[in-house]
Structure formats: C-alpha cells, structure tokens
Amino acid sequence: LEFRGTYCQQREVEAISEGFEEDHGCCCCEPGRLPHLLSGNAAFNQRWLAWEVTATKYVLEGYSISDNSAASMFQMFDLRKILISYYVKSIIFHVSRHPRLVRWLTDPDILSGLRPLTFSYWAELDPTFHHKTDEDYDHKEIGITRHSFLNTYHGWIKYCMRCREAIDEQGIKSDRTDNGGGGAAGQRGRLREEMERRLSFMGSGVGTSSTSRPIGGLGRLRANNTATDRVSNASSDRALLSAHLEERAKKISLNAADRSDRKRESERDARNASNCRLNADNHRSSTGVTATAVSGGGSDGQEQQEPPGDTPVRKINSNGTVEYDTSESSALVSLCLGLSLLGRRALGSSSHNENVEFFLHGLHSLFKGDFRITCERDEWVFTDMELLKRVVSPAIRMSLKLHLDHFLVPDEYDVHESLYGAMLEQQQQRLVIAHEADPGWRAAVLASRPALLALRHVLDDGDDKYKIIMLNKRHLLFRVIKVNRECVRGLWAGQQQELVYLRNRNPERGSIQNAKQALRNMINSSCDQPIGYPIYVSPLTTSYSHTHPELARIGGQPITPALIGGLVSRLWTRLRARCGEGCSSGGSSGLNGDCGGGGAAA
C-alpha cells in the first residue's frame, strides 16, 4: 500500500513525472512546436533515454495514504485534555447504545462494585488523574469526585439517554404493531384462537367426507370403513394438536412467571442494597459523619436524597414512552463514572508526564486492545467482558478520530447534536479504525472500505515514533513506462557479476545510484532476490515466456508483425509451389494420355 522509496528512487520518479509538453525549444531558440508533437529539444532528449512513457493518464482506484506525527499532536497538555475528554464522552456514548445496558444497571455484582461511587464523601485520589489532563478534576479534593464528574458530563449523559429512549420507543411501537398486543396473556390468547380455528377446521373436514356413490353392500361397507378411519384419524390429530398447543401455552406461562420472579428478586436485591446503604449512612451520622448529597448545584449540608435502588432503571409508560433514570444519584451515572475512571486509569499513570512518549505508549497499548486492570477497584468490570470489548476499547479509537477532527473544526463538537452525529457515523463502520495487526484491518483493505485509520508504532534505530495513518479510497493517476529489455538484461547481469563474483557488498555502491537516462536504481532494485530488493513483486504475466521452447510449443509464439509477415510469405510460397506442381502434373498426364490413346488406336 505504501512505499516512498529511497532518495535515488525519488529522483528517478521525478524524471518519469516530468512533462515534455511545456518544452518549446529547439537548440538555442524557442520556435514552438506543432500540435501533438514534441519540440526539437524534447525529441532529442527522449531519443537518448532507455525508457519511454506509453500512458500519461492511467487511472486506478487505490488508497491515498497520509501520515502525521502523533508526538506533535499530543505535545501540549491542552491537546491531551481534549483527547481524554472525547475518550470519556465516547465511553458514555457506547454505554448508552449497548443493548445490555438494562442488564448492567440491574446486575448486583456490578452495583456492588460501583457502590463506593455513590457515597457523597467519595473521591478518587489516584495520581493517574491530574488537573493538566482531566477536565473534571476537583482541585478542592485533589482528585475526581462525583460532583465534578456531573458538572462536566451530566448534560452529555442526559442527551445520549434521550436518544436511547427514542430508539426504545420506536422498537416498542414496532413490536406492538407486529404482535397486535404484548405480554404472555396476549400470546396465550393468540394460541387459544389458533387452536380453536384448527380444531373447528378439522371437525368440518370430517363431516364432508367422500361423495362417491357406493355400489352394493361391499361398497357401503368400504365407505363406512373409510369414514370410520377418517374420523379416528381426525380425532387423534385433534388430540395431538391440542396437547402441543397446551404445552406451548404452559411454556409461555412458565417463562412469564420466571421473568416476573427474576424481576421481583432484582427489586428485592435493590431494596436490600438500599437498606444497607441507609444503615451505613445512619451509622456514619451517629458517629459524627454527616452524609451530604452531591447535587448539580453543589449545595453543602443538604440531606441525602432517595437511594438509587428505589428509583427504577427504566420505566415504560402505558402510551409506549420510555424513561431512563438519569438523576445524579442513579446507577447509570455510577456506571459511566466507573467506566471513565477505569479507562483513564488504563491509559497509564504517565499521561501528565512532560515526556510525550510515555503518553503515546499507553495510548498505543489501548489502541491495540491491551487493557491491563491493575487496580482492585476496577475488577468489577470482569463481571461482563463486553464492558471492555464493546465500550472501552472502541471508545479510545473513536476519541482519536474525534481528536483529529478537532483540528479541522475546533468548535463544532461543542454542540451535543454534532458530536453525537459524528460518533454515530463512526459506529456505523463508515470509517474503519483498527490496529494494522488486527485481522479486521486486512479484511477492510481487501473489501475496499472507503476510509481507514490506525495508530502506528515505528521503531527506527532505537527511536520510538508514533504516527497516525489515514487511508482514503480515491482514483489515483499513474504513468506507464516501457523500458528497453536489453537495458534491463545488461543491468541485471552487471549486478550479478558484481555481487556474486566480485563480492561487492557495499549498500551504497556506485552501480545502484540513480541515473535518470536508464532508471538504473529502480531496475537494479527490481531484480530477483538476493540480487535485488523489490518491495513488491507482481504475479508473473509476461516476462521471457516466449523464449522458453516448451512453453512456446504449447501456447504458441507471440504475435508480431514479423511473425505475420513470415506466415504470409510461407503461405504464398506454398501456394505457388502447389499450383506449379498441379499444372505440371496435369499437362504431363494429358500428354501421356494422348500419346497412349494414339498408340492404342494405331
């Protein structure tokens, strides 16, 4: 996909790209040139080249590759803060879009892991977080608090959940339209109607039996036997169908009862958790610690509001509308806060270091999907690995693309609608963001996806370099050149003699330096290994196949004007020879016949 080449190759590529159409000189003057013809100087210069341009506008569909240094993009702390802010917003976006959101918000293991985040006096004092890189950093508490997180990202959480509510409402309406009613009772009613319809149909089929007229007593006996068999078969079919439908109705009832039991158990667990939190708060208040509620306005001394467990996670109204609990004490806010802390802690404790290489090392590790949970406060995420695979991992990749777009339109993503639309477009796989070692990257290239993005780590002479690679599908313009075959053979033979027999292993030897007249460097490097060092070898198409005697005998020689002229000449020679032989043999036979006839007559 990409090969910029060496200095010598670049000089020869420039020679190929030079246009001779602008040359109007002839010797020392410029008299101009005729249309569609080269000038005198251009024709003279082209005559001494070992190659010629056969097509100037050869268009192919390919990728235009651009690479930018990642060190210059994250050298300043303000730029790192922008990336981390997009990182947190991307985590919230993927949480709101995931189909397992309700399960996560009601899972007792996840809720127990997030329980410390609900306390009003909680603060994350990990040295990973710093005021230089974290927008929600609380200078008063010297860390991240629930209050500071809400002040920064609560509006974005509400907007994402409003979009999620609209999606759920649309799904509920479509389900009601398709099913004509919901719930287990509706399904049992439809099964009962289906059973009655089938039974009535089978009963009517029994009454309208054969209409053939019986002949004699034997015919009446056969007709009665046939009707009796038909009635017995219909009765057995009715019994089997009735048993099958009743079994299905029982299964639906059991599933509905199982779901209701699980719902009651989750509600009971939530009430127990809330009672435990209330007892803990009462114990702290009795020992002299006042429990204060964290609100958006940041009022101090206010009593704690209703515990998060008492508020339903999702409420479906009778008119089909859906409401998610996005209050400040909700489990949704706790989940978003916990995942944001986990993701930023995985980014590395050196994000605020003066050396940008440490920050890029952690960013590249997360971009590859190498998440290392080292803090025991983040181990609750192992309850469901989808939290890492489908939330945190794609969030870091999405934030890198948003950070690139920030340089083009700095103020566009300050509006929630624009930011949500950009994230939604990236989630729909219009842009493939993956590591180059990921099999999905290769599959995307082979599938000709329109745009790809990757973060590359280049180790050059012990120096770590990080580059952001962007591939865009477009039509590229190429030039096709034709090289003198004897020039190629001579240069390759010279390289074989110099490397194999003379043992010259100097990588900067003079025989491979650039020569625009013969394209010496490009031709020598395209020789087969170990003589040459080609970056890419195409499938064998022409080569010297016509010089192979067996292949020429099977597939025939190449069609050239000389071959056509030789065939025509040989054909004409054979025609003349055959015609001459025919005329000579015909004349002699007639003469002999006449002579023979005359002799016989005599």
pLDDT band at 260 (very low <50, low <70, confident <90, very high): low
Tokens of 503: 């043992």
User: If you average pLDDT over residues 233-251, what whole number do you get?
Assistant: 57
Domain boundary among 441, 476, 497: 441
Residues 132 and 94 in one domain: yes
pLDDT band at 192 (very low <50, low <70, confident <90, very high): low
- Whether residue 271 lies inside any domain: the answer is no
pLDDT band at 243 (very low <50, low <70, confident <90, very high): low
pLDDT of 351 over the 80 cut? no
What does the pLDDT read at residue 586?
54
Tokens of 205: 């089929």
Residues 516-526 as b or e (16 or more Cβ within 10 Å = b): bebbbbbbbbb
What does the pLDDT read at residue 259?
57
Domain boundary among 384, 409, 441: 441
pLDDT band at 179 (very low <50, low <70, confident <90, very high): low
Residues 383 and 499 in one domain: no
Which amino acid is present at 126?
A: D
What does the pLDDT read at residue 554?
78
pLDDT of 334 over the 60 cut? yes
* Averaged confidence pLDDT in the chain: 75
pLDDT of 600 over the 70 cut? no
What does the pLDDT read at residue 276?
44
Which residue, among 531, 533, 535, has the nearest Cα to 504 in the 3D structure? 531
What does the pLDDT read at residue 494?
93
Domain extent, residue 42, equals 1-24+35-50+485-539
Q: What angle do CA 36, 38, 42 make, to 5 degrees?
A: 160
Residue-wise pLDDT for 384-434, tens only, equals 999 998 999 999 999 999 998 888 887 888 889 999 998 988 877 778 899
Euclidean distance between CA atoms 512 and 503, whole angstroms: 15
User: If you average pLDDT over residues 212-239, what whole number do you get?
Assistant: 44
Residues 318 and 410 in one domain: yes
- Per the model's pLDDT, the better-predicted residue between 549 and 49 turns out to be 49
- Whether residue 582 lies inside any domain: the answer is no
- Strand stretches in 354-483, DSSP E: 432-433, 451-460, 463-483
Residue-wise pLDDT for 74-90, tens only, equals 888 888 899 999 999 99
Euclidean distance between CA atoms 498 and 501, whole angstroms: 6
Least confident of 108-122, 177-191, 223-237: 223-237
Which residue, among 47, 42, 41, has the nearest Cα to 26 in the 3D structure? 41
Euclidean distance between CA atoms 167 and 246, whole angstroms: 35
What are the counts of helices (DSSP H) followed by strands (DSSP E) for the chain? 19, 9
In this structure, the dihedral spanned by the alpha carbons of residues 396, 400, 406 and 408, taken in order and rounded to 10 degrees, is -150
User: If you average pLDDT over residues 167-190, what whole number do you get?
Assistant: 66
Q: Count of CB atoms within 10 A of residue 507's CB?
A: 6
Q: What is the pTM of this model?
A: 0.61
Residues 387 and 434 in one domain: yes
Tokens of 477: 């313009």
State the residue for tokens 């004007």.
561
Least confident of 238-252, 341-355, 405-419, 532-546: 238-252
Which residue, among 92, 70, 82, has the nearest Cα to 406 in the 3D structure? 82
Residues 43 and 78 in one domain: no
SS3 353: coil
Please report, for residues 86, 107, 284, the alpha-carbon distance to residue 330 in angstroms, rounded to integers and kept in the order given. Answer: 23, 14, 22
Residues 101 and 162 in one domain: yes
Residues 319 and 429 in one domain: yes
Domain boundary among 539, 555, 580: 539
What does the pLDDT read at residue 42?
75
Residues 428 and 496 in one domain: no
Respond yes or no on whether the N-terminal peptide bond of residue 530 is cis (omega within 30° of 0): yes
- Whether residue 263 lies inside any domain: the answer is no
User: If you average pLDDT over residues 211-236, what whole number do you get?
Assistant: 42
Whether 512 and 520 have beta carbons less than 8 Å apart is answered as: yes
SS3 28: coil
32 Cβ contact list (under 8 Å, min separation 6): 24, 39
pLDDT band at 198 (very low <50, low <70, confident <90, very high): low
What does the pLDDT read at residue 157?
94
Count up the domains in the chain and report the number. 2
Whether 347 and 362 have beta carbons less than 8 Å apart is answered as: yes
- Whether residue 44 lies inside any domain: the answer is yes
Residues 345 and 437 in one domain: yes
Length of the chain: 602
Please say whether the dihedral angle defined by the alpha carbons of residues 504, 508, 509 and 513, taken in this order, is positive or negative.
Answer: positive
588 Cβ contact list (under 8 Å, min separation 6): none
Backbone phi and psi for residue 447, each to the nearest 5 degrees, phi listed first: -85, 0
Tokens of 301: 């001394």
What does the pLDDT read at residue 282?
44
pLDDT band at 291 (very low <50, low <70, confident <90, very high): very low
Helix axes 393-408, 416-427, angle to 10 degrees: 120
pLDDT of 266 over the 50 cut? yes
State percent of the chain over pLDDT 70: 70
pLDDT band at 543 (very low <50, low <70, confident <90, very high): low
User: If you average pLDDT over residues 142-150, what whole number do you get?
Assistant: 91
Please say whether the dihedral angle defined by the alpha carbons of residues 426, 432, 436 and 437, taken in this order, is positive or negative.
Answer: positive
User: Strand pairing of 137-138 and 123-124?
Assistant: unpaired
- Whether residue 214 lies inside any domain: the answer is no
Which residue, among 435, 438, 434, 431, has the nearest Cα to 457 in the 3D structure? 435
pLDDT of 321 over the 60 cut? yes
What does the pLDDT read at residue 541?
59
User: If you average pLDDT over residues 156-164, what whole number do you get?
Assistant: 93
Residues 44 and 108 in one domain: no
What does the pLDDT read at residue 88?
94
Euclidean distance between CA atoms 454 and 400, whole angstroms: 9
Residues 105 and 167 in one domain: yes
Residues 417 and 491 in one domain: no
Euclidean distance between CA atoms 292 and 301, whole angstroms: 6
Which residue, among 325, 321, 324, 323, has the nearest Cα to 173 in the 3D structure? 321
Burial class (CB in 10 A: 0-12, 13-18, 19+), 14: exposed
- Whether residue 273 lies inside any domain: the answer is no
What does the pLDDT read at residue 289?
32
- Whether residue 76 lies inside any domain: the answer is yes
Which residue, among 412, 323, 427, 456, has the nearest Cα to 90 in the 3D structure? 427
What does the pLDDT read at residue 490?
94
Residue-wise pLDDT for 553-580, tens only, equals 777 777 788 889 998 999 999 888 888 8
Whether 269 and 108 have beta carbons less than 8 Å apart is answered as: yes
User: Strand pairing of 451-460 and 432-433?
Assistant: parallel
Burial class (CB in 10 A: 0-12, 13-18, 19+), 491: buried
Euclidean distance between CA atoms 127 and 500, whole angstroms: 61
Residue-wise pLDDT for 486-526, tens only, equals 999 999 999 999 998 888 888 888 888 888 888 999 899 88
Please say whether the dihedral angle defined by the alpha carbons of residues 418, 104, 143 and 362, taken in this order, is positive or negative.
Answer: negative
What does the pLDDT read at residue 255?
57
pLDDT of 324 over the 60 cut? yes
Which residue, among 414, 398, 491, 527, has the nearest Cα to 453 in the 3D structure? 398
- Whether residue 396 lies inside any domain: the answer is yes
